[in-house]
Amino acid sequence: MDGAWYTGWRHVFKLDPDREITDEALEAVCMSGTDAIMVGGSSGITYDNTVDLMSRIRRYAVDCVLEVTSLDAAVPGFDNYLVPLVLNAERAEWLIGRQTAALQEFGHLIPWDITAGEGYLIMNGDATAAVVSGANANLNQDEAIAYVQAADRLLRLPIIYIEYSGAFGDMSLVRRASKIVSQAHVIYGGGIDGPDKAEEAARAAHTVVVGNIVYDNLDAALATVQAVKAVQIGVS
Ligand SMILES: CC(C)=CCC/C(C)=C/CC/C(C)=C/CC/C(C)=C/CC/C(C)=C/CC/C(C)=C/CC/C(C)=C/COP(=O)(O)OP(=O)(O)O
Ligand SMILES: O=P(O)(O)OC[C@@H](O)CO
Ligand SMILES: [Mg+2]
């Protein structure tokens, strides 16, 4: 693993431009000590709601990263950009088709030095991202690990995102993934509802992403920051 901009992240909050957040809640999230705010969502993302959320986060010093899921919402001005590729999508459209279509239109504008691809392995079939991309989440652990190895060793993607959005995942899979990668950075997200699950995930993944609980229970969300920072990943 090199010293790329994401390698120091242990804890990240993901905020959805399509959901409401008060100024007070946003301030608490941005001042929480998290390593970065990732802006992204699977549906309802527009240029206007993305610009609006970015400019509100920009009042704070925290790094602000856009996960680009729609060309319409490719907003300039973020610190970094992440482009998802769904590894276990049923159709190539979600693995590489939409991305190459975007490059034909936008390729000359992309700030490559602050942009990285992320190989999404979507393991919760009920997650919006799984439904949108038709991901085959019905994988056993060995099959899932084969995707991780393909992304790391064959495609040499810099980031592998094990996504259980809405449900807490199999930490033994995440641990195995973090242990087996040769160069990729493993991000885990899904179902973290407070410090206990955050700590468990932090022992298994390089980076832990906390999303929906920000909107459902802010205090529990804020408590995940210290929980993650207090432990080290338990793989080597
Ligand atoms: C200067 C300038 C204009 C900068 C922009 C530069 C830039 C980097 C442009 C990118 C160009 C490019 C190649 C874009 C590709 C865009 C694209 C259409 C990609 C496809 C994305 C994709 C595979 C989407 C599928 C769904 C998915 C994996 C989403 C990931 C995010 C996610 C899971 C969010 C969580 O969603 P949420 O709504 O919270 O879900 P729940 O309901 O489960 O909570
Ligand atoms: O919303 P939750 O379930 O915390 O998941 C976080 C993130 O992985 C979503 O893309
Ligand atoms: Mg969400």
Residue 126: how many CB atoms within 10 A of its CB? Answer: 11
Cα 19 from chain centroid (whole Å): 17
Q: How far is the CA of 118 from the centre of ligand 2 (A)?
A: 15
Region of 38 on the Ramachandran plot (φ > 0 left; ψ -120 to 50 alpha; else beta): beta
- DSSP result, 83-119: EEEETTBSSHIIIIIHHHHHHHHHGGG--GGGEEEEE
Residue 29, classified by CB atoms within 10 Å of its CB into exposed (0-12), middle (13-18) or buried (19+), is buried
Does the Cβ of 124 fall within 6 Å of ligand 1?
A: no
* Residue 14 marked in a binding site: yes
pLDDT tens, the chain, 236 aa long = 457 999 999 999 999 999 999 999 999 999 999 999 999 998 899 999 999 999 999 999 999 999 999 988 999 999 999 999 999 999 999 999 999 999 999 888 999 999 999 999 999 999 999 999 999 999 999 999 999 999 999 999 999 999 999 999 999 999 999 999 999 999 999 999 999 999 999 999 999 999 999 999 999 999 999 999 999 999 86
* Residue 217 marked in a binding site: no
Q: Give the position of tokens 């409401």.
A: 20
Asked if residue 82 lies in contact with residue 65, where contact means CB atoms within 8 angstroms, the answer is: yes
Give ipTM to 2 decimals.
0.96
Q: What is the largest CA-CA distance in the chain?
A: 45
Please give the domain boundaries of the chain with CATH numbers for all domains. Answer: 11-229 (3.20.20.390)
Among 155, 153, 173, 154, residue whose Cα is nearest residue 163: 173
Asked if residue 178 lies in contact with residue 207, where contact means CB atoms within 8 angstroms, the answer is: no
Output the residue whose Cα is nearest ligand 2's atom 4: 211
Collapsing DSSP to helix, strand or coil, 193 comes out as coil
Output the residue whose Cα is nearest ligand 1's atom 6: 110
Output the residue whose Cα is nearest ligand 2's atom 9: 165
Output the residue whose Cα is nearest ligand 1's atom 17: 69
What is the Cα–Cα distance from 99 to 35, expressed in whole angstroms? 27
Does the Cβ of 106 fall within 6 Å of ligand 1?
A: yes
Q: Which atom of ligand 2 is nearest to the CA of 193?
A: 4
Does the Cβ of 103 fall within 6 Å of ligand 1?
A: yes
